[in-house]
Each structure stands twice: as C-alpha cells, then as structure tokens.
C-alpha cells in the first residue's frame, strides 16, 4: 500500500497540474488565453513540495515582489512549456496554481542557483490581461527571395552572410531538409513562418 502511494506521488510529480482557485472560469473569447495571445500576468515561483531536488517551498522569483506584471506571448515557446500549455484556456482575472514537472520546466540543467536540475516547480499565477499578440515574424518569406515557396542552400546562406557568417551552421541543412530533396519546403522549415504556406500570387 505504501509503495502504491509512493508510486502515485511520483506519477503525479511528472505531470502538469493546473488548479484554479479563484476568478472566472467562463468568459468571452476575447478574455480567454489562446495560443499567440499577449498575456500580462503576476506569478510567484517556488520549488514544489513534491520536488525531488531543491528546497521545497523556496521562492525563486516573483513578479509581485517587483510590483510589475510579467508580459509574454503565450504558447509559442517564449516561456517554459508548463506555462505555454498550463495557461491556455484561462480567463482574465483567473488565479491558479501550476505544478510543473522538470521536463516542462527547466529540465535536468535547472536555472540559476535557486532552481536545480530536476526540480518540480510551483507557480501561483494571476491572469491580469489578455490581448491579441503581435503577428509572428515570417522568416521563411524573408529567406525565399525567388518566391517559389521553397528554400535553396544559396538562399539560406545569403541570410547567414548578412549575419557575418560565410557558411551554414553544421547539421542545419540535414535537420531542415527532412525529405532530402535539396530544398527546405515550408512544411519542413523550423523557424518562424506564419500560419499558412505563402501564396505569392496574392502579391502579384
């Protein structure tokens, strides 16, 4: 029985847990957090009681202490995965606790002196504002100078030369040109590329 309880505790610590304790649970779509929204929030981050590393309960960061809400575009990889997934669907004014396992937080490497590798994190959050996020940069269109909706090595290299590099980073082409046809298609491109494949006919 004790072993089963311990096993359940380990399983629980490896999953994202979101527990709303105050604020609205139903709201207009404009007040609901969606992928790509610009989110203003307060948070207090501590090491969770279930964490296998670090000092349980120790606070490592808080926007409330600074008196200034934190602003970020949500769901697009600008913050840890636990926030990107755990905050989606919340309403403006919602208050919740997020328990975030290491693989959705700072992983095996940790962050700074207060968040060791393998730490399970606890964030007390409050959604202060929800607004439509700024449009995503479209690097694919910038690189695709001949407007054929696929990238050649020459086009990608031209971009890196503007950054002061005379050759492509090692392994870049192999990782991006997944089908090995000598081009990076829009579907394969791993950088910012907008939500739909460019239709250059609209520009003519």
Q: What is the CATH number of the domain that holds 182?
A: 1.10.238.10
CA distance 127 to 123: 12
Residues 39 and 126 reside in one and the same domain: yes
Counting Cβ atoms within 10 Å, is residue 135 exposed (0-12), middle (13-18) or buried (19+)? exposed
The pLDDT value recorded for residue 3 is 44
- Specify the number of domains making up the chain: 2
Catalytic residues: 43, 60-61, 80, 106, 123
CATH code (residue 117): 3.10.50.40
The contacts of residue 201 (CB under 8 Å, 6+ apart) are: none
Residue 92, pLDDT score: 97
Instruction: Give residue-wise pLDDT tens across range 99-153.
Output: 999 999 999 989 888 899 999 999 999 999 999 877 777 889 999 999 999 999 9
Q: What is the pLDDT of residue 126?
A: 98
CA–CA dist 42, 181 (Å, integer):
47
Residue 204's pLDDT is 44
Q: Which residues contact 65 (CB under 8 A, 6 or more apart)?
A: 44
pLDDT of 131 reads: 92
Query: Which of 79, 108, 131 is a domain's end point?
Result: 131
> Residue 80: which of 93, 61, 58 has the closest Cα?
61
pLDDT < 70 stretches in the chain = 1-13, 202-204
Q: Which domain holds residue 150?
A: 139-203
Are 100 and 153 found together in one domain? no
């Amino acid at each position: 029985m004790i072993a089963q309880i311990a096993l359940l505790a380990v399983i629980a610590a490896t999953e994202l847990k979101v527990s709303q304790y105050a604020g609205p649970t139903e709201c207009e779509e404009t007040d609901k957090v969606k992928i790509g929204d610009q989110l203003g929030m307060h948070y207090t981050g501590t090491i969770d009681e279930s964490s296998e590393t670090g000092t349980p309960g120790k606070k490592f960061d808080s926007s409330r202490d600074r008196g200034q809400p934190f602003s970020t575009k949500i769901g697009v990889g600008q913050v840890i995965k636990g926030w990107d997934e755990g905050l989606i669907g919340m309403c403006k004014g919602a208050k919740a606790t997020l328990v975030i396992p290491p693989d959705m937080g700072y992983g095996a490497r940790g962050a700074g002196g207060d968040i060791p590798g393998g730490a399970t994190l606890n964030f007390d959050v409050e959604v202060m504002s929800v607004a439509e996020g700024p449009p995503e940069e479209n690097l694919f269109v910038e690189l695709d100078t001949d407007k054929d909706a696929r990238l050649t090595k020459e086009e990608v290299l031209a971009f890196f030369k503007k950054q002061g590099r005379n050759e492509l980073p090692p392994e870049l082409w192999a990782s991006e040109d997944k089908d090995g046809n000598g081009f990076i298609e829009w579907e394969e491109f791993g950088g910012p590329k907008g939500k739909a494949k460019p239709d250059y006919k609209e520009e003519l």
